Amino acid sequence: MSDDTIAPARPTTSRTRPAVAPARTLPRRLLGAAVLVAAIVVALALPLYVDAFWLRIGLFAMAAAVGALGLTILFGAAGQLSLGHAFFVAVGTYGYAFLAGGDSGHLTGLGLPPLVAAVLATLLAGLCGLLFSPVASRLRGIYLGIASLGLVYLGHHLLLNLRPVTGGYDGRSVTPFALGEFAFSDAAGLVVLGVPFGAVENLWYLFLAVTVAATLVARNVLRGRPGRAFRLMRDSEVGAAMMGVRVQRTKAAAFVLSSMYAGVAGVLTALAFQRAVPDYFDLHLSIDFLVMIILGGLGSTSGAIVGATFVIALPIVLARYADVLPLVAGPGQDGLEASIAAQFVYGALVVVVMLTQPGGLRAMVHALRDRLRPAVR
């Protein structure tokens, strides 16, 4: 045996350590913090300068983003395909409308404080997810998707026939949200820097706070031990079991957490629309949620938010500017409707993204950033 085979490894010195990484880490963190602070400042200042039309789009987008975060945890991280996400969103919407609303004509309600009603509606959605978790813990892939698809049809049937609770085809109105004596409505009479704040402006800050909190919770879950267990289970259930992960319990936990996120999204949807209508919570809504997380990037919280914003805003913007856009018809005109045109657009984008960059828009941004970044030895 030669001497070099038993010689100890050369100790790491300052020459062998990469001197570039520490120098680049601090500026990168400072840049990220600066971008985050700038985004928060812009988001807080938007109601002072932006028209109510765009703020309302932001409300719909933030409500959808919370639901997309839940599906990101379930499908993007845990690998559990669900086509029943619209059912749990409906549970949150109608749960809040029933718990916060009072008796009115043929409709019934409990008349609880809006905050209590919102919390109970979220827990109710989680309870429905818990009741379905025995099925979710034993199935995976397309089989789970087909099983969860039954929830959408079951929920739509209940929404149409439980008239005292749901209002049937006509739906029911939603009680405005309130914290103590302050109501998030046009009657609040709040004026900030000379700008009168109505329901949309007041709800903007409420939705922003809920979206930020939901994003932070999702990031901590995905980066912590639960997220590692979800990804290990997604890659190999046998390997996860050998590593000590209780697969069935982990599947159930992912489904319950995703259902609670959908419940929060349902409450936000109710507050944004101010009315609950059963036709909104169909299979198309579940597919929209899948498109959101696929476009943004599976398993990415920022990708879920970007994808939700794109999917929600595109048909509304197309309908707004249908008069100046080619091939898009406005309301009451002959031609391609804005909603159908939007489906063609983001349907084609899904195909392009899956063929060119399966990681979604987030991976595209990272790839572009790496190309623009100068090579460092």
The domain locations on the chain are 45-281
Paired with 197 in beta bridges are: 190
Per-residue confidence (pLDDT) for residue 370, from 0 to 100: 72
Q: How far apart are CA 274 and CA 171, in angstroms?
A: 11
How far apart are the C-alpha atoms of 120 and 227, rounded to whole Å? 26
What pLDDT, on a 0 to 100 scale, did the predictor assign at position 131?
A: 93
pLDDT at position 6, please? 42
Give the per-residue pLDDT at 345: 82
pLDDT of residue 373: 65
| Nearest CA among 114, 89, 129 for reference residue 292 | 89
**Distance of alpha carbon 57 from alpha carbon 64, whole angstroms:** 11
Q: What phi and psi values does residue 179 have, to the nearest 5 degrees? A: -120, 105
Tell me how far apart the alpha carbons of residues 255 and 225 are, in angstroms, rounded to a whole number: 16
Give phi and psi for 337, each to the nearest 5. Answer: -65, 155
pTM: 0.85
With a cut of 70, list the residues of the chain below it in pLDDT.
Answer: 1-29, 31-32, 186-196, 327, 329-335, 372-377
Burial bucket for residue 277 (CB in 10 Å: 0-12, 13-18, 19+): middle
**What's the burial of 242, exposed, middle or buried (CB within 10 Å: 0-12/13-18/19+)?**
exposed
- What is the distance between the alpha carbons of residues 275 and 272, in angstroms, rounded to a whole number? 8
Interacting residues of 115 by C-beta distance below 8 A, sequence separation 6+: 177, 178, 179
Q: For residues 286 and 148, what is the distance between their CA atoms, to the nearest angstrom?
A: 10
CB-side exposure of 167: number of CA atoms within 13 Å?
Answer: 21
